[in-house]
Structure 1
Amino acid sequence: MQSAAKAPYRATFRVQTVGIEQVEQCANEDYELIPDFANQYAQMAIFKVGDDVRQDMLALQLMRLFQNIFQQEGLELFLYTYRVIATSPGMGVIECVPNALSREDIGRNTEVGLFEYYRHVYGKADSAKFQNARRNFVISMAGYSIALFMLQIKDRHNGNIMIDSEGHIIHIDFGFMFESSPGGNMGFEPDIKLTAEMILIMGDLTAPAFQWFKELCIKGYLALRPYRHHFQTLVALMLDTGLPCFRGHTLEQLNARFKPDASEAEAARYMHDVINRCAHSLRTRVYDIIQWYQNQIPY
């Protein structure tokens, strides 16, 4: 994560589900919560000090709005919106993504590409298990590609990308978004991280799975456009917080990405062009190489 050097502490808790009445009774000094092991589960979390997680909270709140719209429109797009709580401007608690490995860890443990990793975990490419994992990869790649583009999320090295046990891709750590980016806000990375190994899982640029991925991206993008004012309002409420992602033109640039004056066909072509421009982007490759030399993150 971006703040790996800023005193993170990982811990696992036993969490018990309780009702509203029990929560209210906790204010009573005489009340004692009785452990109910049948309703408990393990929850891993990271405590972070020296890092403002309010930006992560904003990104995930916007993604939840994405999820609601996708569900309302009947679109099968996957986003995992893990929980983040800011306890102060420089401290916070972050839920760990369960049953998932970072692409960095996969690279360190196996030294193989994603396609080979999927074949190792899920079996041959024509097996039902692999096909289901590929399907999960496509619907999550499409969901996160829309989010990366609309929120301009950067710093997409392999330490910030995870693969869960069902084959979904999950992005974490949103320390750079909107108008902020690594290297002094130079905006070096492309709008979407779409590498050769990601495309290979879907086949190639002409494969049915990749065409379905593009179709999902376009449909998801078109579904968001009528709700652009909802996103602008939510972002506007945070403009006075002093978060580094706001540099004076956030709302203007966000609105422009919705293409409010374009027809639906024009907006569809716009999103199609964004995907094509990002596929096999040399800038993505260069950024991963830089992360390898600076932080030894495999790519």
Structure 2
Amino acid sequence: MYWAPLPPPTAVTLLSGHHQTEPWTLQYAVRVLEAYDVDIVFFYIPQLVQALRYDHLGYVQHYLLFAAKISQLFAHTIIWNMKANMFLFNKDGQATEPDSLKPRLDAIVDRIVNGLSGSDKDFYEREFEFFHKITSISGSLMPLVRSGGSKPEKKKKIDEEMAKIKVEVGVYLPTNPEGIVLDIDYTSGRPLQSHAKAPYMATFKDHDKKDAAQHRWMSVIFKVGDDCRQDLLCLQLIAIFKSIFQRAQLNLYLFPYRMVPTGPGCGVLEVVPRSISRDIMGRERVNGLHAWYRAQFGPENSVAYKRAQHNLVRSLAASSLVLYLLQIKDRHNGNIMFDEDGHIVHIDFGFMLGIAPGGGILEPAPFKLTAEMVDVLGGHVQAPSYRLFMHLLIKAFLTARNYADEIIDMVRMMQDSGLPCFRGEATVRALRDRFVLHKTERQAAEHMVACIRQSHENTRSVFYDRFQHLTNGIPYA
């Protein structure tokens, strides 16, 4: 008898503990993962770490130790993810008490680290020391945060601390393991707005390991005092949606920027390149999104404007579906980016899968579709770009329904992680309900048309923008 081959997500699901699985099935799931390149399984590290909660026979641990020996990058990422999962967090994102999984995670980390020798050990020590120095800068800012220090004072402190850091040979940013850091822009450090925390942004020069001639400067944000694991889950799901759309050859656009939780309440995330937030547009006194598109790309009848408008259609359709299915909230203008090609990109996923500021009263619409977005699409529902937006969104929804089980399984595997977005099995049931799998394709298409109508210029979405303007000074049109 031969077992049929399985894709990695199915094998990971079998190890998750949410199925009554016999030992021989667990053994087979591990063999499946071992047969795949470690770089492919890399994507499922968050789910594999959570699967340790149900790993009574040790099969998941066996695979993680196996993969850590094959790939140093896998070993590093496993260690960072395990450190990020060792504590429970309160509603403010602060680590409060050890997770029940902590003793086992400590033991696995010790086995991985103690098993290193020679060049592998040297590489590990250089990488983790370099990254510790970089992230410790946030800690050095905390006295200024507590005392109400000014931005120039924080900037000066960042510059002082960054000047002490030397780039070691072969080190990399966790968000870009394919690259090697060559240099730091020692004057690039910039404190970011936060009420009681000290995130900051800095820029690094790196090159691709496969092509040393390709150099680039890339900016990343370092967070301390924030539980970044929920953002990682959301970005992981966005990456799955992107893959689904590509497989279906749908002309849609999503940008799942990279994020790596690296410790309890710590993480590093990629900055969306060549982009501006809608918030910053307002602070620069740009009179509306439509005006920004005309200023950036030229007259509405120009080729450049039409291209940017089409890019907005592609990205708005894809992101609207993601916002609806994952119920991503807190969509104020500080969390909405527009890149130099005209795409819309959403960031910051602290509220999703049923949790929302104020219980969701101010954001009841399925997704955010404002009057100024509609203006760029042509200004009315009969405009060609608006019609294309509706067409692509409906096609994306019908396509995603074919992969509902894969998406739901990825979420279910994280439901015992302690992430604030989970309210038990009800969260998973609500996610499944949004796919309306009991409906025919025609009925599902009609359901999405109703969602579009409900979202179009939703009054309470405007109220939420006004609320953010009054409380946080975030501009809106």
TM-score (norm 2): 0.58
Matches within 5 A, 1:142-291: 142-184=317-359, 186=361, 188-203=363-378, 204-248=380-424, 249-291=426-468
C-alpha contact 1:149 1:192 (8 A) present in aligned 2:
yes
Which residue does the alignment assign to 1:88?
A: 263
The alignment-based identity, stated in percent, is 46
Deviations 1:57-109 (A, max 9, x none): 11111111111111111101100110000012311001000000000011111
Which residue does the alignment assign to 1:7?
A: 198
Deviations 1:102-136 (A, max 9, x none): 00011111331111111111111011110001000
The 3 A distance-change label for structure 1 pair 187 and 257 is: farther
Question: How far did 1:7 drift?
Answer: 1.1
Matches within 5 A, 1:93-132: 93-132=268-307
Question: In structure 1, what residue type is equivalent to 2:384?
Answer: P
Report the Cα distance in structure 2 between the residues aligned to 1:3 and 1:123, rounded to whole angstroms. 35
The 3 A distance-change label for structure 1 pair 189 and 297 is: farther
The 3 A distance-change label for structure 1 pair 153 and 4 is: farther
Which structure: larger Rg? 2
The 3 A distance-change label for structure 1 pair 206 and 46 is: same
Question: How far did 1:275 drift?
Answer: 0.6
Query: Which deviates more, 111-120 or 1-10?
Result: 1-10
SS of residue in 1 equivalent to 2:406: helix
Report the Cα distance in structure 2 between the residues aligned to 1:107 and 1:205, rounded to whole angstroms. 26
SS of residue in 1 equivalent to 2:216: strand
Report the Cα distance in structure 2 between the residues aligned to 1:183 and 1:2, rounded to whole angstroms. 21
C-alpha contact 2:237 2:407 (8 A) present in aligned 1:
yes
Question: How far did 1:189 drift?
Answer: 3.8
C-alpha contact 1:122 1:133 (8 A) present in aligned 2:
yes
* Runs of 4 or more above 6 Å deviation: none
Report the Cα distance in structure 2 between the residues aligned to 1:48 and 1:135, rounded to whole angstroms. 34
* Of 30, 44, 47, the match for 2:219: 44
The 3 A distance-change label for structure 1 pair 238 and 59 is: same
Report the Cα distance in structure 2 between the residues aligned to 1:189 and 1:276, rounded to whole angstroms. 13
The 3 A distance-change label for structure 1 pair 294 and 105 is: same
C-alpha contact 1:3 1:51 (8 A) present in aligned 2:
no
Question: How far did 1:210 drift?
Answer: 0.3
C-alpha contact 1:189 1:287 (8 A) present in aligned 2:
no
Deviations 1:131-151 (A, max 9, x none): 001000100000100000010
Report the Cα distance in structure 1 between the residues aligned to 2:376 and 2:195, rounded to whole angstroms. 30
Report the Cα distance in structure 1 between the residues aligned to 2:285 and 2:471, rounded to whole angstroms. 21
Report the Cα distance in structure 1 between the residues aligned to 2:377 and 2:202, rounded to whole angstroms. 36
Question: How far did 1:237 drift?
Answer: 1.1
Which residue does the alignment assign to 1:137?
A: 312
Which residue does the alignment assign to 1:293?
A: 470
Which residue does the alignment assign to 2:239?
A: 64
Question: In structure 1, what residue type is equivalent to 2:260?
Answer: I
The 3 A distance-change label for structure 1 pair 262 and 187 is: farther
C-alpha contact 1:54 1:89 (8 A) present in aligned 2:
no
SS of residue in 2 equivalent to 1:241: coil
The 3 A distance-change label for structure 1 pair 110 and 185 is: closer
Question: In structure 2, what residue type is equivalent to 1:165?
Answer: E
Question: In structure 1, what residue type is equivalent to 2:432?
Answer: N
Query: Which deviates more, 109-118 or 2-11?
Result: 2-11
Report the Cα distance in structure 2 between the residues aligned to 1:235 and 1:72, rounded to whole angstroms. 21
SS of residue in 2 equivalent to 1:240: coil
SS of residue in 2 equivalent to 1:43: strand
Question: In structure 1, what residue type is equivalent to 2:448?
Answer: M
Report the Cα distance in structure 1 between the residues aligned to 2:301 and 2:324, rounded to whole angstroms. 32
C-alpha contact 2:362 2:464 (8 A) present in aligned 1:
no
Question: In structure 1, what residue type is equivalent to 2:199?
Answer: P
Question: How far did 1:38 drift?
Answer: 2.5
Which residue does the alignment assign to 1:17?
A: 208
SS of residue in 2 equivalent to 1:163: strand
Question: In structure 2, what residue type is equivalent to 1:236?
Answer: R
